Structure 1
């Protein structure tokens, strides 16, 4: 019985010793075995804040977060009664300017021209009669029948009648010729000015329809229907998932093997996939300094540079914000 208990104790002690040896061996292996080192970056994508030029109240929003939107699609409509009123004013001014230009182009009405012609003919008949009367008076004066006073009166009447006939003829000719070229040019200029004002209001009305400048996914909705927005205030944010890149910050001592156009293999933990990425941008100026000891007695600051890399091909389900791991052994 005592021998069995003794053997049991020996077995337990041996098991504990074996476990301790196994644990120490495992820790030693883990501590001495080389491990992969990574630089961690993050995916980013082009994002556009979609805004309008005119202030007003949001009448309708056509998209929500997560919806896909095409380029130039209407994402929201802004209501602006002030612009509608200006549109009516501009249309009225354009109509008035066109009427003025038409009046200058067409000249006097046919009825007015007929009346002026009748007046000119009547004045010319009176002038002809006065001329005949003067001729007769002159003949009688030459024969000594009438005094000089009567001849002068007949001559004055003849000249006055002819002047009246000339004036009536000039009014008729003016009505027949229409407005002056300067008046026509001024009327046409007013039409152009009114058209410009009308086109400006139409442009503002078009701006009440806020359109997406790019195709992508609506990532943020910044306003709700019924809210008042100011000029340039964004209503939604659209993210172009097709235009994405990874951002890293590398110390300057790691840049010796990194250059634009060079391709590296990255690991995306969220997709559990390795993908090739090409260096597309290296910052021309370092952002900040990271201190690293270069010798035992001192050290110096190492600047960090932003580096952007783009996938060499389209990657499904790759989204902004995902972590990207850059194996350090590729740049050592």
Structure 2
């Protein structure tokens, strides 16, 4: 008969006890692993269902803002020079552009000429008549006084002759009229001499002084407009936009350059009122700025105010409930944040 193979021999041999124990142990381990895997799968499914029914609230999103000034020309004119470009740092009072305004220069010259004329009138009123005019008035008075004395003597002689009957009454009337006229002329000449010595009246001097002051004010006004041809930055900051170039006409009040103050920045959030429960005036919040990376930064809330009434109401439910208003919340960094710029996204984790 043929000899049985080794495999057939192993299959016919009875299983040893130690092998049977190891096989049972492996079966129990595999069963436990399978049971644990099943429980883990069930737990994972339950956890997924719970997460699906309780999604994580998204962060409150806002953006950075800063004090921005549109530097405009107070008077219209053509831009002669623009001394800055985007990204330049400027200081308060720095001349960033100049205008060419020939009309203002002409106004300044006219005002200065007007001021000189008014000053001359005031000087004339204060000084009074010239010495030659005073001497002339005095000579006129002395001449009138001599004529009065002659008329007086003539009247006395004719009056005596009339009493003695040598001259008619007509002649006496003539010399009497001449005497009265001579006295009036002498009095008028004396008044003219007094006026020349005294000069202008107090009211005339005051009027002349007021007109001179008005002329000085006109000059100051014209020069102030000339100074407005130099466009200066009202704040220190960074040039973010240059809106007009050299040679272009700058209308009155139209921005030439935009300057942003990077030292005065804040985060602005538009939030529904149901999102304000943990936000209070003066409280410190943690804000992330994805653009600069790193962790969150401390910001202090300094402004909470409702937005305008239009388009900021939201119903809590479709058919009932109440409406929620939108509030603007602003917060400034507690300490300077390197790299922070306006327009960057700001996030508050919830």
> With structure 1 as the length reference, what TM-score do the two structures score?
0.82
User: Contact 2:282–2:302 (CA<8 Å) still a contact in 1?
Assistant: yes
Three-state SS of the structure 2 residue aligned to 1:288 is coil
Matched, 1:211 2:232: yes
Matched, 1:195 2:211: no
Three-state SS of the structure 1 residue aligned to 2:78 is strand
CA–CA distance in structure 1, aligned partners of residues 188 and 321 of structure 2: 106
User: Contact 2:306–2:325 (CA<8 Å) still a contact in 1?
Assistant: no
Task: Please give the residue correspondences for 1:61-140 in structure 2 after superposition, counting only pairs within 5 Å.
Answer: 61-140=82-161
Question: Which residue of structure 2 lines up, in the alignment, with residue 327 of structure 1?
Answer: 349
TM-superposed CA distance for 1:258, in Å, is 1.0
Question: Which residue of structure 2 lines up, in the alignment, with residue 280 of structure 1?
Answer: 302
For structure 2, the residue ranges without an aligned partner over 5 or more in a row are 1-36
Question: Which residue of structure 2 lines up, in the alignment, with residue 157 of structure 1?
Answer: 178
Moved more, 194-203 or 214-223: 194-203
> Larger strand proportion, structure 1 or 2?
1
Three-state SS of the structure 1 residue aligned to 2:246 is coil
Moved more, 143-152 or 114-123: 143-152
Three-state SS of the structure 2 residue aligned to 1:48 is strand
> With structure 2 as the length reference, what TM-score do the two structures score?
0.78
Moved more, 256-265 or 283-292: 283-292
CA–CA distance in structure 1, aligned partners of residues 100 and 303 of structure 2: 43
CA gap of 1:43–1:127, structure 2 versus 1, over 3 A, is same
CA–CA distance in structure 2, aligned partners of residues 152 and 252 of structure 1: 112
CA–CA distance in structure 2, aligned partners of residues 248 and 307 of structure 1: 5
Question: Which residue of structure 2 lines up, in the alignment, with residue 173 of structure 1?
Answer: 194
- When the two chains are superposed, the root-mean-square deviation of aligned CA atoms in Å is 2.7
Q: Which has the larger Rg?
A: 2
TM-superposed CA distance for 1:291, in Å, is 6.3
Question: Which residue of structure 2 lines up, in the alignment, with residue 307 of structure 1?
Answer: 329
Cα-to-partner distance string for 1:272-330 (whole Å, 9 max, x where unaligned): 23210111222224763556669xx98876444322111111122211122222110xx
Question: Which residue of structure 2 lines up, in the alignment, with residue 231 of structure 1?
Answer: 252
For structure 1, the residue ranges without an aligned partner over 5 or more in a row are 1-20
- Count of aligned pairs between the two proteins: 302
Three-state SS of the structure 2 residue aligned to 1:256 is coil
TM-superposed CA distance for 1:237, in Å, is 0.5
